[in-house]
Copies of this chain bind each other. A is one copy, B any other.
Amino acid sequence: METIEKLTKTLRSHGMKITPQRLMIFKVLENNTSHPSAEDVYKRVKKVYPAVSFTTIYKTLETLRKLGEIREFAIDDDRKHYDPNTEIHHHAICSACKKILDVFEDFSPHVKLPDFIEKDYTVSGFQISFFVTCKECN
């Protein structure tokens, strides 16, 4: 995700409007490495704007996703999570507490599909999920 200023310009250039709710959503997402669900974002925005609705959060997240500003991903089975960091990176998830850690190491030199598969498929990228147990849960 870009800075709030850039994001604002991007939305405006698409004929979209900037509202206080949206600005607050941007603020919650900025530099957020907690991989929040829509509900998580909702709770944080609600602290500042108690009248905000889940629908607004949901629709704005969907807007940001369509613009490519955030990424939606399925890592635990219960709900969808969002990641404002759209750069390629990997995740380590604690099977006990479900916390997700970002892993920025570049594995691309060593990870590629076997040739006989790559022949028939266009590969746009890959993502590694490490299954771990964190210090606190150990």
Q: Measuring CB to CB, which residues of chain A are less than 8 angstroms from any residue of chain B?
A: 72-77, 80, 92, 94-95, 101, 103, 105, 107, 110-111, 113-114, 117, 120-135, 138
| CB–CB B77/A77 < 8 A | no
Interface pair A126/B134, CB less than 8 Å apart: no
- Which residue of the partner chain, among B72, B94, B131, B133, contacts A127 with CB atoms under 8 Å? B131
* A5 CB → nearest B CB, Å: 30
Contact partners of A94 in chain B: CB under 8 A: 121
In Å, the complex CA distance between A125 and B130 comes to 6
A138 to B121, CA, bound (A): 8
Q: Which 6 A-B pairs have the closest CB atoms?
A: A110-B110, A74-B74, A121-B132, A120-B135, A122-B133, A126-B130
